[in-house]
Structure 1
């Protein structure tokens, strides 16, 4: 396997009738049908210049997986259309990536077009999907029923999957052209046509397993609008040969930060993503017969590479979905897992592996996770290098003196700089930052040390506290403090003196049952160096959090405790 696309299609050749995906409503798609759909999208987007941006706005689901893989197979580079971006930030990102395609849900065209004002009043900010970069022509491919706002000449996913794409495919749309597809044109629904457009994911009914041939037969028997195609049935070993596209082709641009004038976009290639996914597979057993329940690409895609089943959440109770799907693997953000385990202390017996990531896991959460049944692994990763190290919950709980990250995964290079910052390299490293020179290693922004071949996190470089000329690393002490009786979560922050710049050390604690500040103060000298003993302790009902992963917002926490007398 030389990249992510050919790897998944090779799996489809070997296991065409095995279930590849289960959608949020429990309907199954075989590997053969998945490959057929990916090929249909690739064929419809043929002619895309390798590395050309594809502005992508499709929520997690079977359609999103098919469209993402098909877009990359056609040579495109995915650029996620994050909702809520300020207009100037979005404009800078569009200028930097210059998308040639927009792949989006029809409802999002409506919300970013005719109903844009209503969406903004509801707090939903979306880019103008019809014209993301004024003056720059783009092609469009939409999923879902035709709705006002879908551009004239846009391709419809349902027609693409039925093999009824016009010979000229999607027409480029320039600024100032018509905003809606006319009845009867590509991407529209004719007046009086019953129902909306449907893909396999939108088809009504109970849980179904559909191969390409079965989909056509079922459509004929029941009169439903399931995907048809003039292409060969991909449930056989006829996956397309797309080896002419290099694994060095950019596959995704993931924006992490940066100014309006200089957006910071991480560029991953088909090869770097495949290398990262292989590291996940090597870290824990995964193969045919396993069911991976997650909406995370970086765990779902390894499942497809390994011939396992990727089960997509349906939005219900996670424990109930895990049991219903007989899931063997899943992923959780620590703060979300904590809420789940307080309601459901024991997880289904079929679940063998529970992966934690996106934020550090407090000791209390790790203990409950271990008691819930599956083997618990904590993943250390960053957008530029996925993953870096993996440690078990038991290893982390048994370690004192910093947050144990685990040994670097095979092929991952690590280097500790003179100031203690961790640098990472390896085949899974992103190719570059958008508009910058190729990367050979990446500065993580984390302070770490190596003990017996294992990485130990000391804290974020920017979160280092300076007191009396001594550097204090919060991550060195927080895990041990959080493991004390009566402590649910702990964070150490520095409050700078406006005149001297020297910092007061404050320990913020979310108390648990049995919390006693006197006992906590007595315990601190045993686990905290003398120069790092907090000046004061503040109890807080809940830590401020931010982002999709609900990470601790240290800046907000500093502001919160600084205001207290």
Structure 2
């Protein structure tokens, strides 16, 4: 397989004047309110920048050459905190072309977790928006803190700095403006070495979970990232000339490499759903996480999309294809989507950061499925599936009507399988040969994957994976707490609310359904102390006290399924 950026070069030669990137301007920045573009209507947007294939390829090559000339060496890691927009896309691709690796780190995480992730990744470069530098160390720092945004001080990181946008106070001395790199004289950009060496080079690092003492990051190479882009092309049935309207790079880049246009909204769909609703109308494809789908459907059902710029009579209100993923996709969400946007083909995508995407199913198929469990669909071409029955404790398998299909842990392989976890690879361990998902599953007679539970405890909230076993020992050490269990309660949008269930010292584990109480002296005390023992990403949405913990199986472990059932009525009142 050639470097996937070679495909971009070929497109630039074949269709140099076709639009590759289209960015809608307007909206707010990292924090604070913004004004719309169309007649002052809030949330409106207009096309702010278009980049043709010829210009995109040229800017990527020039920027890569400038990075190499400026000292970026093969294997250098670049901390990347730039929202989706042409300047950031060009820089991201240029870093890969020059042989570097892009490290995605959420600037909104706690300073402690951010510092732990930086220490683990050891980047030599940082690429950040000028506004973020100003908000983390400059005159806007107080404004950011007043909005509850505790940003790390990017300017003090001992790295080489790159910034996008106009210079602002707080941008460190010596930082280079990304737009200036793209104007540099052309020169050698691509790294040297054989094809295999280039394809196996580290390209992408994504932090997914873990604690401040053990942050967990997934590492992809040029080869596995290219495999991921090819698999996503299967999902959207992408073709030349199509419009993909999304803020998600893993659909945007495949659309570009297929010869289509990646339309980038000014703001995330959940932050500006009205603007997104107008932009996505009539598009060929889009990719959203479940929470964004809910925000989109809310404004469409409410009829709150401003008339300015609305689709003409008879035009499509949504995209031709809308893929939903990155979190569990509930049937109820797809049913609502079909009702609000009946002309859209809805798809549910299954996968993990470690191997993405892995399977896909249409809304009609998922809704009509009689399988007992969550149908996630047929594996994509190239994805290998193994159901490991030996890895499953029979006590953890829920009673089901799987019939003759035996349940086991779902194990996946394929071209998008990660190279491994950052800490393992940096320690010299071998590359990953499979991904054990932790999902309990079986394959039906048609080869479709059906999930029936979890083989290990994990909660998914937003884009954060929370492993209760990492945190519960700390919670059990809090004063007055006898036992503590973190559970995830699914919401209507597929996201999970994190509920901490505690029992008082002196209580016992007994059979039967427990009594659940809120607002007790113990829950108030625990809620005041959780920030001292938990990472920000694992903080509970709600703390409840249980009379006892229900138990399950021969091992007499806490019955998490039973706990979810008993706390759901209370957790349903929690705002996401």
What is the TM-score with the length of structure 2 in the denominator? 0.67
2:191·2:198 contact (CA, 8 Å) conserved in 1? no
Query: Structure 1 residues 532, 86: CA separation in 2 closer, same or farther (over 3 Å shift)?
Result: closer
Displacement of 1:70 in angstroms is 1.0
Displacement of 1:103 in angstroms is 1.1
* Alignment match, 2:356: 386
Unaligned runs of 5+ in 1: 164-229, 233-238, 465-473, 508-530, 547-565
Distance (Å, rounded) in 1 between the aligned partners of 2:365 and 2:444 = 13
Displacement of 1:159 in angstroms is 2.1
2:277·2:318 contact (CA, 8 Å) conserved in 1? no
2:74·2:191 contact (CA, 8 Å) conserved in 1? no
Distance (Å, rounded) in 2 between the aligned partners of 1:533 and 1:260 = 28
Q: What aligned pairs does 1:215-294 form with structure 2 within 5 A after superposition?
A: 230-231=185-186, 244=193, 246-294=198-246
Displacement of 1:463 in angstroms is 5.2
CA deviation vs aligned residue, 1:374-415 (integer Å, no higher than 9, x gap): 111100011111101001101111113111011111111222
How large is the Cα RMSD of the aligned pairs?
A: 3.6
Query: Structure 1 residues 43, 29: CA separation in 2 closer, same or farther (over 3 Å shift)?
Result: same
Displacement of 1:535 in angstroms is 7.9
1:493·1:506 contact (CA, 8 Å) conserved in 2? no
The reply to whether residue 447 of structure 1 matches residue 418 of structure 2 is no
Distance (Å, rounded) in 1 between the aligned partners of 2:565 and 2:202 = 50
* Alignment match, 1:500: 509
1:319·1:348 contact (CA, 8 Å) conserved in 2? no
3-state SS in 1 of match to 2:255: helix
CA deviation vs aligned residue, 1:493-532 (integer Å, no higher than 9, x gap): 997986236574999xxxxxxxxxxxxxxxxxxxxxxx98
Q: What aligned pairs does 1:345-494 form with structure 2 within 5 A after superposition?
A: 348=316, 351-371=319-339, 372=341, 373-400=343-370, 401-417=372-388, 418=390, 419=392, 420-436=408-424, 437=429, 438-452=431-445, 453-462=447-456
* Alignment match, 2:32: none
* Alignment match, 2:144: 119
3-state SS in 1 of match to 2:508: coil
3-state SS in 2 of match to 1:404: strand
Query: Structure 1 residues 499, 73: CA separation in 2 closer, same or farther (over 3 Å shift)?
Result: same
Distance (Å, rounded) in 2 between the aligned partners of 1:488 and 1:432 = 27
* Alignment match, 2:28: none
Match of 2:58 among 9, 31, 36: 36
The reply to whether residue 341 of structure 1 matches residue 302 of structure 2 is no
3-state SS in 1 of match to 2:198: coil
| Structure with greater Cα Rg | 1
3-state SS in 1 of match to 2:80: strand
The reply to whether residue 308 of structure 1 matches residue 302 of structure 2 is no
* Alignment match, 2:16: 16
Distance (Å, rounded) in 2 between the aligned partners of 1:69 and 1:492 = 36
Query: Structure 1 residues 506, 451: CA separation in 2 closer, same or farther (over 3 Å shift)?
Result: farther
Distance (Å, rounded) in 2 between the aligned partners of 1:21 and 1:488 = 30
3-state SS in 1 of match to 2:438: strand
Query: Structure 1 residues 161, 22: CA separation in 2 closer, same or farther (over 3 Å shift)?
Result: same
CA deviation vs aligned residue, 1:344-381 (integer Å, no higher than 9, x gap): 25982672211111222333321232231111110001
2:127·2:161 contact (CA, 8 Å) conserved in 1? yes
3-state SS in 2 of match to 1:130: helix
Distance (Å, rounded) in 1 between the aligned partners of 2:154 and 2:437 = 33
Query: Structure 1 residues 534, 149: CA separation in 2 closer, same or farther (over 3 Å shift)?
Result: closer
Displacement of 1:89 in angstroms is 2.2
Of 118-127 and 66-75, deviating more is: 118-127
Query: Structure 1 residues 499, 384: CA separation in 2 closer, same or farther (over 3 Å shift)?
Result: same
Distance (Å, rounded) in 1 between the aligned partners of 2:154 and 2:212 = 20
* Alignment match, 1:69: 93
Unaligned runs of 5+ in 2: 26-46, 304-314, 393-407, 459-486, 517-560
* Alignment match, 1:4: 4
Displacement of 1:302 in angstroms is 0.7
1:445·1:462 contact (CA, 8 Å) conserved in 2? yes
* Alignment match, 2:125: 101
